[in-house]
Copies of this chain bind each other. A is one copy, B any other.
Amino acid sequence: MQRVARRPPPDLAPARKSSLGEFGRIARFFAPLAASMPGAAGLTDDCATLQVPPGRMLVAKTDTIVDTVHLIGDEPADLVARKALRVNLSDLAAKGAVPLAYMLSLSLPTSIDDAWVELFAQGLARDQAEFGLGLIGGDSDRTPGPFVVTVAMFGTVASTTIPRRGDARAGDDIYVSGTIGDGALGLLALRGQLGDLPPAALGHLIDRYRLPQPRLKAGQTLAGTVHAAMDISDGLVGDLGHICKHSGLGASIQWENVPLSPAARQALATDPALRDTVLGGGDDYELLFTAPPDAAPRIQTVAREKDLPLTRIGAMETGHGVRVIDAQGRDVTPAVAGYAHA
């Protein structure tokens, strides 16, 4: 995920802003989120059980949100919760998985009060309903640092395999879902580093940064059609570079084919150098996949059915690395190809 500016660590004052305590918070705010999951035992036990439906295989993913690293730092708690779920759901989407359940680990500074936790749980509830999820377990601890939210997400697939980064073949078309670059531009907007744009355009970009849209339905429908698949979290060029590396191939993409939102086009009109942000910035949470050319009609059928653009942006080829070519045939590959967390 994208790095954002640091701020000082939160208040280390020992005042405990919880009248409920850990067990009270769990019972009040989190146990209702586990009501649909028999294996969660109402969050009153040490372990959860998870029944994998017959004929399906479990898919698991964990991802973490650290305040001030993955967040600007002023996000409302419900949005934090929903982002923590969605960055994981986006990975499941690329693998064609159907969401099932999740575990939640919270490390919270004492400056976080019960009202924050309540709003956080409301965000979880909202996305549980939207994505058909249940909470099955977790833990809650204090930290003298910024809050850390780790989600372990579970889904299932019908097949015994899932599309891997290394499954691309030479000659495959490369596709992305939705539009690219909005999240990275939204982060710039939140940091006051984007030029003058109409409020509606700014709002669109910021929304795209703050609330990823996991492409679950499209991913599930495409599962039998694609070769390699992943979601774009570290930037289009960087993530496509992972597919290249693990498939032992190269990739060429055409800049003019990369799908952009009207807001992103407006931003690029004010500053063409933002192209590097669009291509390399991350926080897209769109699908990135490769498929054989003869799958094109099927892919466009899925796009229509799911009301989600699926755009061919280039092709896999022998060689290695990612090249971005503009309409004039110039190599416009950004220098920073993806962002490494560590």
Contact = CB atoms under 8 A, between A and B. Distances in A.
A219 B22 CA distance: 27
Best-buried of A3, A59, A70 by chain B (most CB within 10 Å)? A59
Contacts of A342: 18, 20-23, 25, 108, 140-142
A49 B59 contact: yes
Contacts of A136: 60
A162 B39 CA distance: 10
A141 B66 contact: yes
Mostly helix, strand, loop or mixed at chain A's interface? mixed
Interface string A306-342: 0000000000000000000000000000000000111
Contacts of A49: 57-60, 157, 161-162
Interface string A4-42: 001001001000001011110100000000000000010
Contacts of A9: 9, 12, 144-145
A58 B62 contact: no
A65 B314 CA distance: 44
A70 B69 CA distance: 22
Nearest to A87: B139
A306 to B, nearest CB: 20
B91 A21 contact: no
A64 interface: yes
A85 interface: no
A150 B69 contact: no
A44 interface: yes
How many copies are assembled? 2
Nearest to A7: B144
Contact of A143 (B47, B148, B165): B148
A276 interface: no
Nearest to A48: B60
Interface in A105-151: 105, 107-108, 136-146, 148, 150
Contacts of A275: none
Interface in A58-82: 58-64, 66, 68-70
A191 interface: no
Contacts of A23: 340, 342
Contacts of A273: none
Nearest to A166: B44
A104 B231 CA distance: 20
Nearest to A231: B46
B164 A64 contact: no
A39 to B, nearest CB: 8
Contacts of A60: 47-50, 103, 136-137, 152, 154
Interface stretch (A92-100, A201-209, A252-260, A291-299): A92-100
10 contacts: A9-B145, A41-B164, A44-B246, A46-B61, A46-B94, A52-B58, A62-B104, A66-B145, A69-B143, A145-B146
Interface of A: 1, 3, 6, 9, 12, 18, 20-23, 25, 41, 44-52, 57-64, 66, 68-70, 91-92, 94-95, 97, 103-105, 107-108, 136-146, 148, 150, 152, 154, 157, 161-162, 164-166, 230-231, 242, 246, 340-342
